[in-house]
Every structure is written in structure tokens, then in C-alpha cells.
Amino acid sequence: NCKIRGVEPFTTVISPPRHTAFKNDYEMMEFIQTLRELSGGKPVGFKICVGSKEEFINICKAIVETGIYPDFITVDGGEGGTGAAPLEFSNSVGMPYKDAVPFVYNTLVEFGLKDEIKIIASGKIFTGFHIAKALALGADLCNSARGMMLALGCIHALKCNTNRCPVGVATQDERLIKGLVVEDKAERVKNYHNETVKAFVELIAAAGLEKPHQIKRKHIFRRINIHQIKSFKEIYPYPENMGKGKIK
């Protein structure tokens, strides 16, 4: 790591949290367009863990004013994180995806942008029901890191940043890598993925739906307290101003 960064070992270095390729929302849109052109038109988007709602609203304004549409926005829940993340950040920073996804969806609809941009949900999504909830809240698809890691053999040793992962998943140490038998783990990951998708499809069928995109907030219920149950549609209402969005 020190060699890659060009610094002396065991010295304190500052890692600025900001990007160097752009300085504001408008420059970020221009950077997205640059990447799209350089890649020959491949899909380009960005990932965000929502902290400030105003910040995301300003991003939407920049999209409208520049006319540059990201192909997707990955909404990373505050409940996500890696074994290399500081506990304060992994446990306490950022909006959970169950709040962030409907906010992002509603905001894109209000700006008339949703038809042009896909939403990817991310954050402890590792069961069929997790996928159903994410899509009901407004996601078009989901990322799954934690589930795949566990299927691969991760034991949450929290050694990701030390190069000493005991099961060989997050390490470059040749001795430890031997613990990850590719032929065995590949089969486990494949089975986990297939069975998770199968469980999700069965839930869609059980709800009386024919296709995954038909699941909406009205289909999922949450107990609010001992006396009250509400649907996601009641907890996270769709926006009154639908813009160009198409919601029934």
C-alpha cells in the first residue's frame, strides 16, 4: 500500500475525502459524460450514501440544467460497510437504504428524471425478501456484497485492511489464499445466488404478481408499534408532483 501511494512506511498521511476529477455537481455531470465518451458509450453512473437530502436535490438540479443523465445511481445504505471501515462510519454515518431509496426515487420522479435513470439499492441485501423490499421501495435492481462474501467463506474477522484475512478472501498473502479453494467456493456462490433469486421470484408469485417490477410499496407492510401496521406506501408516500414519472 505504501509503495502504491509513494510514501514511507509507518508515516502519517492525509487521504482527502474529496474527488480530484471534479469540484461540484455540474463538473461531476461533465465528468460522467467524459467517461461515457471515453468508454464508447458504456453505462456510467455514480454511487452515493445519502447524508444530506439537500445535496442530492442539488445533484438533480445539475442533471436537469446540464442535460447530462447518469445511466444509474447506486444508493448505498448507511448500514453497509467493509471490515476496513472505521466503526463510527460503518455504524453511524449515512441514511439507511430503506429511507434513502424511496427518497431518491421520489426526488427523481419530482424532477422528471426517473424514466432516464436506474436506481441500484445496496446495503445488507442478501435474501429474497430483501430484494423484494428494495424493489418495492423504488429500486430497479440490487447489489449484494455481504451475501456473496459469506457464501465465499467470509467469517467477519474484520481483517480486510490488514492482509491477514484468515479464510483467504481479502488478502494477497499466498499462504492464506490457499484457504480459498476456487472450485469449491465457486459452486457455493453459484448455489447461493440461484437460490436467493428463486426465493425472490417465489415471493413475487405469492403476492399475485407476474413480474418483479410490479411489486410496489403497497405490497410490503411493517409493524409500527404494538397496535399499528402500515404499508410502505403509507410510510413512504409517493410524491404528489409526479413529473414525467409513471406510477400507479
- Of 108, 209, 192, residue with least CA distance to 145: 192
The whole-number average pLDDT for the span 3-14 is 84
The region, left, alpha or beta by phi > 0 then psi within -120 to 50, assigned to residue 47 is: beta
- Give the model confidence (pLDDT) of 27-36 as tens digits: 999 999 999 9
Region 7-25: mean pLDDT is 86
pLDDT per residue over 75-98, tens digit each?
999 886 665 677 788 788 899 999
Q: Write out the three cell numbers for 12.
A: 502519517
Instruction: Identify the residue whose cell numbers are 445539475.
Output: 62
Sorted by where each begins, the domain ranges of the chain are: 20-235
Average pLDDT estimate for 117-133 = 96
Burial class (CB in 10 A: 0-12, 13-18, 19+), 96: middle
Which band of pLDDT confidence, cut at 50, 70 and 90, is reported for residue 10?
A: confident
Closest CA to 81 of 153, 161, 146, 143: 146
C-alpha cell at 235: 410510510
Query: pLDDT tier at 195 (50, 70, 90 boundaries)?
Result: very high
Mean pLDDT computed over 199-220: 97
Q: Is 160 helix (H, G, I), strand (E, B) or coil?
A: coil
- CATH class of the structural domain 20-235: alpha beta
